[in-house]
Structure formats: C-alpha cells, structure tokens
Amino acid sequence: MKRAIITGGESGLGAACADRLRADGIDVITFDVSPDADYHVDVTDAASIAAAVADVGHVDILINSAGIIGPNRPLIESDPAAWERTFDVNVHGTFRVIQAVAPGMVERGWGRIVNIASMAGKDGNPNLSAYSASKAAVIGLTKSLGKELAKTGVLVNVITPAVIDTPMNATTSPEVLAHITSLIPMGRVGRASEVAALVAWLTSDECSFSTGAVYDISGGRATY
C-alpha cells in the first residue's frame, strides 16, 4: 500500500484529497495544526516536520496543501509581518516539507509530489499581493524541482485552482471573492472534489510522463 502525507489535510482541498486518496486505497497521513490531524505539524516549524516525517517512515506521495490567504489589502498598505507570515506558510512551508520527504523518495526510486498553488500565482489578484506572490513562488519552485528530479522516478507537479468552495475563502473579503469569481467563464466556483480528482491522477502510476508541469483547474479562467 502506498503512503501519502497531506499537509493541511484536515480542511479544504487537503481534506478532499485525503478523502479521495483513502477511497483509492492509499494510506493517508495528515499533517495539520488542527487537533484532529494524525500529526500536529506547523509547516513553519522545521523541527516538528522532521520529527513527524521520521515517525511516519517511508512516504510515496506528498501533497502540499497547507496555506493561508494572508492580508486582504492593497500592497502599499500591507503589514510586513503579515506578508512574511504568508510566505513562511505558503512557500517556506512547502520547501521544508519537500526537503524532509523527497530524499527518501529519490532513494527508493518512486515518488509523487503535488503542490497546491493558485490561479492568483499566474494572474495576480488585486488586494491579495502576498498570496499571489507566494503562489507564484510555489509554481517556480515546482518547475525547478521537477527538472532536478526528472530522472529519479520522483515526479513533481503543481495545481493552480481558481476560487474553490473551501473554508479558506471565509477569510477573503466579499468584494475580492466576488471579483475573482466573476473572472471564471463557467460562472461558478470549483468544488474541492474536482481538485481531488486531478490530484488522484497526478499521484498515480498512470501519471508517468509529466513533471514540473502546471495544471489549471479554473472553469475556463486560465489564459496561459
């Protein structure tokens, strides 16, 4: 049985991915700050990541879903601490967990890493500059790592959803949410289960010739 770690696995996209992979017969382990998680892990804390990964043992699949929206305000009004916190969770957290998990995958010659970014990382959403910039960094990280590991059997891809119906959007201002929803040609927000279905393929043996790639799931919003 393959084993997966999902960061942010107790809510939103992470929880949907956990449900889908479990249904597919994967042994899923959640890392989250929620008390319901299999391991209480804060992705800003390298020590907690290292301890949890060591206890879990071998990992075949990693889904980096832990993330925060960050400040909902114009860039010039953004608090530097809030900006740095957004990057520490969304970018540095992804980096820390990959560094802890990927070497074992490389050693065993098989692995699947899926990072969750956002359309905001490609288009930029107004009044979400920290979030948009952090998700652009996750896209760049994925493209680079995919090339680095291309001959190891470890595939690394990134998903860029448009707005999805998840608890994270409870912290997004109504004006921002209305704007980003209006950009979707299908005229609706996405469902977490739709994202999870894409993740299920990207973490399977069927996905064998894709790495360093960006997968849009945007209801038609994506333009490149």
Instruction: Give the span between the Cα atoms of 51 and 146, in whole angstroms.
Output: 26
Q: What is the pLDDT of residue 164?
A: 85
Of the candidates 116, 131, 126, the residue with the CA atom closest to the CA atom of residue 69: 131
Q: Which of 39, 131, 215, 224 is catalytic?
A: 131
Q: How many CA atoms lie within 13 A of 204 on its CB side?
A: 14
Q: What is the pLDDT of residue 189?
A: 85
Whether 131 sits among the annotated catalytic residues: the reply is yes
Mean pLDDT by groups of 10 residues along the chain of 224 residues: 97 97 98 97 97 98 97 95 98 98 98 97 93 98 98 98 80 77 88 96 98 94 81
Write a three-state SS string for the chain: CCEEEEECCCCHHHHHHHHHHHHCCCEEEEEECCCCCCEECCCCCHHHHHHHHHHHCCCCEEEECCCCCCCCECHHHCCHHHHHHHHHHHHHHHHHHHHHHHHHHHHHCCEEEEEECCCHHHHCCCCEHHHHHHHHHHHHHHHHHHHHCCCCCEEEEEEEECCECCHHHHHCCHHHHHHHHHCCCCCCCECHHHHHHHHHHHCCCCCCCCCCCEEEECCCCCCC
Q: What is the pLDDT of residue 222?
A: 83
User: Is the Cβ–Cβ distance between 116 and 67 less than 8 Å?
Assistant: yes
User: Structural domains in the chain?
Assistant: 3-217 (3.40.50.720)
Which residues, 6+ apart, have CB-to-CB distance to 127 below 8 Å? 72, 73, 74, 173, 176
